[in-house]
């Protein structure tokens, strides 16, 4: 979706009458990265309909860039801004304009996830884009490439997503709104870690890492070891605790327009936005999965159940049949 080469003809735009403000347009297609069409001889923009020749005026380019600019304000809701929703409507109805806006985004190093009234112009930063978030900027302690804090901050983001979309259907269903709390995310990861610990104990494994080889320590141990909270002198959350790390993640995601705060229960309650679902589904999830596959770890699931304990991964119908948890 990043490389929309404009067709030789901006079909619909060509038939529409030229906007009034186009008198001074010099090279109207300059914003479109279309080497194939850039050198074509062009009629003066004031001519009215030159038969299939696209007419992209500076005003159009300005509007397209404006739409991208709206997309760069992720907390802005289209429903709250008449101009935004008007530009979105134009993006939907005018393919030439849509291509132009997509091209502007691509040129800025942005990836368009979706353009819709619910999500707005959902753009995200391409890798190495100036808009990308870097771990070192995100958390100072996490700047070192192999620090435990770096892992914990990354895991916190992953866990927030997993808790917000616990089942595959939730991630796929456009209408789904996930709800999370900070303490809930922490408790859920801890529970997963505890199960691994119990499993290792049952198997009689010694999970204590070798001294001097911190990179070989199992990932769950890093999380389990870190305290979940801690008293501080000024009654703020302890930044290095796991709830502190999760709270930082959700606060950051809220800033990104991915979550909305709904209350203060359990360390802060949040709900997801359409943009977050798109981001996780189309970008983050697949990127992490391919990294995992590169490591040679392939998780086999049947595509249905999720958040299952490892041992009852296949026990779906038991839940339905069980009804009462008590044996009579």
Partner 1 sequence: MTSPASTEPVPPQLSAAARPAPGPAADEGLARRLRALACTAPLHDLDVRKANLAGEYSVYAMAEVALASIDLVTLNMDFDTGADHEQIVARLIPRVAAQAPARPASEHERVARWVLENLINVGSVDRGFRAVYGTFNPDGVYVRRDYDFKLLEEVPGYGGAVYLRTTDEAVNVLVGALDTDVTSAQIAAEVKLEVLISRGRLADAQLAAEQARYRTVQYAETLRRTLEATRRNVRAVDWLNAVPDMIAEALDHVADRYRHENAILTNIRKARDEAEDPEHKRRAAELVDIVKDCIRRHTQLQSRLLEAGPLFRAEQDRQAFARPAARAGLDLYGQLVAPLLPLPVADAIRVTDAFFARGTGLRTPVSVRVGDLVDILLTPPMEREHLGAEMPEPDLVATPDDSRFSEEQLAAAMELLDLEHDAPRRLSGLLAEARRLDPELPYLVALLAVHAASPPVGTAYRQGEERLLFAVDDGTQLDDPEFGGADLIVGTALLDAAGMAAGRTEAA
Contacting partner 1 within 112-141 (CB under 8 A): 123-125, 127, 129-133, 135, 137-138
Count CB neighbours of 267 within 10 A: 19
Which CB sits closer to partner 1, 25 or 268? 268
Q: How far is CA 314 from CA 92, 129, 203, 241, 302, in A?
A: 44, 42, 21, 35, 9
Does 275 sit near partner 1 (CB under 8 A)? yes
Which CB sits closer to partner 1, 10 or 84? 84
Q: Which stretch binds partner 1 (CB under 8 A): 39-47, 79-87, 94-102, 262-270?
A: 262-270
Q: Report d(CA 91, CA 94) in Å as an integer.
A: 6
Which CB sits closer to partner 1, 20 or 320? 320
Q: Report d(CA 291, CA 256) in Å as an integer.
A: 24
Contact at 8 Å (CB) between 18 and 45? yes
Site for partner 1 in 207-226 (CB under 8 A): 207-212, 214-223, 225-226
Does 234 sit near partner 1 (CB under 8 A)? no
Which CB sits closer to partner 1, 12 or 255? 255
Which CB sits closer to partner 1, 10 or 270? 270
| 240, two tokens | 């290095």
Q: Considering the complex, what minimum distance in angstroms separates the CB of residue 57 from partner 1?
A: 27
Backbone angles phi, psi at 18, to 5 degrees: -65, 140
Count CB neighbours of 300 within 10 A: 5
Q: Which stretch binds partner 1 (CB under 8 A): 13-21, 31-39, 88-96, 171-179?
A: 171-179
Count CB neighbours of 208 within 10 A: 9
Of 167, 261, 262, 263, the residue at the interface with partner 1 (CB under 8 A) is: 167
Q: Which stretch binds partner 1 (CB under 8 A): 32-40, 53-61, 95-103, 260-268?
A: 260-268
Which CB sits closer to partner 1, 97 or 188? 188
Which CB sits closer to partner 1, 80 or 236? 236
| 117, two tokens | 């009234």
Q: Considering the complex, what minimum distance in angstroms separates the CB of residue 65 from partner 1?
A: 14
Backbone angles phi, psi at 269, to 5 degrees: -110, 140
Of 157, 250, 272, 274, the residue at the interface with partner 1 (CB under 8 A) is: 157
Using only the alpha carbons of the chain, give its radius of gyration: 25
Q: Report d(CA 162, CA 124) in Å as an integer.
A: 20
| 190, two tokens | 């801890």
Q: Which stretch binds partner 1 (CB under 8 A): 3-11, 50-58, 91-99, 189-197?
A: 189-197
Site for partner 1 in 62-121 (CB under 8 A): 72, 74, 110
Q: Which stretch binds partner 1 (CB under 8 A): 12-20, 34-42, 51-59, 273-281?
A: 273-281
Angle made by CA atoms 147, 295, 194, in degrees to the nearest 5:
60
| 308, two tokens | 């299952």
Q: Considering the complex, what minimum distance in angstroms separates the CB of residue 116 from partner 1?
A: 17
Of 46, 50, 191, 262, the residue at the interface with partner 1 (CB under 8 A) is: 191
Q: Considering the complex, what minimum distance in angstroms separates the CB of residue 10 from partner 1?
A: 28
Site for partner 1 in 33-62 (CB under 8 A): none
Does 202 sit near partner 1 (CB under 8 A)? no
User: Counting Cβ atoms within 10 Å, is residue 39 exposed (0-12), middle (13-18) or buried (19+)?
Assistant: exposed
Pairing of strands 110-116, 269-272: unpaired
């Amino acid at each position: 979706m990043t490389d929309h080469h404009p067709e030789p003809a901006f079909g619909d735009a060509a038939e529409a009458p030229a906007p009034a403000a186009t008198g001074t347009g010099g090279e109207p297609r300059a914003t479109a990265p279309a080497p194939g069409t850039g050198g074509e001889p062009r009629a003066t923009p004031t001519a009215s309909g030159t038969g299939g020749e696209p007419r992209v005026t500076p005003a159009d380019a300005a509007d397209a860039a404006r739409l991208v600019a709206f997309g760069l304000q992720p907390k802005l809701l289209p429903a709250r801004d008449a101009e935004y929703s008007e530009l979105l409507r134009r993006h939907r109805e005018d393919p030439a304009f849509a291509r132009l806006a997509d091209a502007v985004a691509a040129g800025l190093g942005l990836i368009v996830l979706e353009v819709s009234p619910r999500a707005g112009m959902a753009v995200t930063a391409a890798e190495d884009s100036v808009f990308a978030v870097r771990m070192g900027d995100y958390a100072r302690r996490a700047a070192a490439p192999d620090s435990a804090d770096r892992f914990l901050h990354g895991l916190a983001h992953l866990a927030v997503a997993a808790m917000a979309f616990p089942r595959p259907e939730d991630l796929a269903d456009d209408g789904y709104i996930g709800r999370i709390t900070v303490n809930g995310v922490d408790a859920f990861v801890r529970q997963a870690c505890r199960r691994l610990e119990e499993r290792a104990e049952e198997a009689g494994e010694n999970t204590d890492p070798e001294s001097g080889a911190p990179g070989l320590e199992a990932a769950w141990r890093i999380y389990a070891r870190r305290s979940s909270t801690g008293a501080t002198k000024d009654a703020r959350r302890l930044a290095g605790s796991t709830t502190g790390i999760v709270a930082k993640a959700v606060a950051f995601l809220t800033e990104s327009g991915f979550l909305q705060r709904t209350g203060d229960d359990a360390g802060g309650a949040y709900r997801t936005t359409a943009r977050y679902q798109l981001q996780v589904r189309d970008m983050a999830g697949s990127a992490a999965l391919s990294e995992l596959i590169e490591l040679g770890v392939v998780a086999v699931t049947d595509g249905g159940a999720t958040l299952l304990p490892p041992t009852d991964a296949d026990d779906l119908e038991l839940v339905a049949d069980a009804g009462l948890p008590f044996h009579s």
